[in-house]
A and B are shown apart, each in its own frame.
Chain A
Amino acid sequence: MSDHHNTDDSGPAARVKALEALLTEKGLIDPAAIDAIVDTYETRVGPRNGARVVAKAWMDPAYRKRLLADATSAVAELGFAGPEGGHLVAVENTDRVHNLVVCTLCSCYPWPVLGLPPVWYKSFAYRSRAVSDPRGVLEDFGLELPREVEVRVWDSSAEIRYLVIPQRPKGTAKMSEDELAAIVTRDSMVGVAKVEAPRT
């Protein structure tokens, strides 16, 4: 896999260190601000945000409606906003439609709700095939869709960022919103997986 990180290569580590040192020296960056950004995206912004949005949409029909009409505002209701989240759009999976999100040109991704993208989302394999063979890509994730289900691939080529609302699994009627949020996975919100009900 050519897109995989090469841990033996000390090259980029030295270069990034040089870059940061130089920009700090020139007064162009504040290392404390850099630390804060790292902390934000490593520990605070991630798919748990999106999972809360999805769980709320499952529980609250009025919220679901707002989310589908204007995801940026509906997501902001839960306190999530920021870079790569200025124009959010939620697309809903149903028995008849399955949505899948990709960015073929780079790796655009809805940061405020999903955090930073995983390596597979940024991989050349995913970027190239998600548009031309989405059913094959889904099979790579162990998801086989019946032919009668319409596959909709969303290529994030502009500034719109997409969040898939997966289907609520059967057997979860008695679960609370928090419990539901706990079973919603990142992959299901990109559209490469379904949400599974917890095994009892």
Chain B
Amino acid sequence: MLVVASESAIIATVNGVHDMGGMDGFGAVVPEKNEPVFHADWERRMYALATSVMGAAQVNIDEFRHAIERIPPARYLASSYYERWLAAAEMLLVERGVVTREELLAKQDASIDPAWIANAVANRGPAPIKEKSGSKPPRARFSKGDRVRARNLNPAGHTRLPRYVRGKAGVIARDWGVFVFPDTNAHHAGTKPQHCYSVSFDARELWGKSANASSRDRVLIDLWEDYLEPIAAKSTARSIKKRKK
């Protein structure tokens, strides 16, 4: 089934079903014995096509990820991994006008339901914004050992700030250097290069004391500077006090 723009492009909200950290109900992890790299020939082809698709549609990796996130939640959950890649590829190629839905469907089996075409709405992605050249690499606002809080951001669009860390306090563990900012890069709103840090969160800060965790267990996650705010020494003491009440 072709994911059509009418279903996908409008639903661009960040708080999508792809942001799975901390969800329950998916059951046990079941490894497959002697698992092949691909489970079907179309998976092979889809995997290999992805890079070409990104080139053909002139999209970056963040836009590709965001396209996957724009798959309607029920469909996302019902699709396998490479089916999601396929849906994203079709979506981006059609949105960028590289191929039309009609062309894609005409190439497919004659049994394709024409209603899917009728439902489609042509929706081009935003025009690219050119970067200012010659800008200096940004300085790091934080350094190792700094206490920080993940901001409670809910931007309308792509982000790599998962819900489970928003509002939580952690410590800068490493500064990985400067990286392109996905939240803007996914929307052609500039690369906004900035420092990205490994931020360490106590498992109990994230999941509460009742969690199946020892007091030493931690989650380390890589967060861009714009996702973080400093915790001043004073406010730290206060917030700990508050939490103990």
Contact = CB atoms under 8 A, between A and B. Distances in A.
B86 A120 contact: no
A151 B99 CA distance: 48
Interface in B88-120: 89-90, 93, 98-99, 103-105, 107-109
State which size class the interface on B falls in.
35 or more
Interface stretch (A29-37, A53-61, A73-81): A29-37
| Centre residue among A7, A15, A26 by max chain B CB count within 10 A | A15
A160 B176 contact: yes
Contacts, number: 237
Interface in B152-205: 160-162, 164, 176, 179, 196, 198, 203
Interface of B: 1-2, 18-24, 26-32, 35, 37-49, 51-53, 55-56, 65, 68, 77-78, 80-83, 86, 89-90, 93, 98-99, 103-105, 107-109, 160-162, 164, 176, 179, 196, 198, 203, 206-207, 211-214, 216-224
Given A3-B80, A105-B65, 7 more contacts: A15-B104, A23-B56, A105-B18, A131-B21, A132-B206, A152-B220, A155-B219
Contact of B31 (A120, A130, A132): A120
B214 A148 contact: yes
| Centre residue among B48, B65, B108 by max chain A CB count within 10 A | B48
Contacts of B47: 37-38, 41, 116
B92 to A, nearest CB: 11
Given A4-B80, A120-B32, A157 B48 contact: no
Interface residues of A, number: 77
Contacts of B19: 104-105
Q: Report, nearest first, the 9 A-B pairs whose CB atoms are least far apart.
A: A104-B21, A18-B107, A158-B222, A37-B48, A150-B216, A128-B23, A125-B26, A13-B42, A155-B221
Nearest to A40: B48
A4 B22 CA distance: 20
A128 B163 CA distance: 12
A20 B31 CA distance: 31
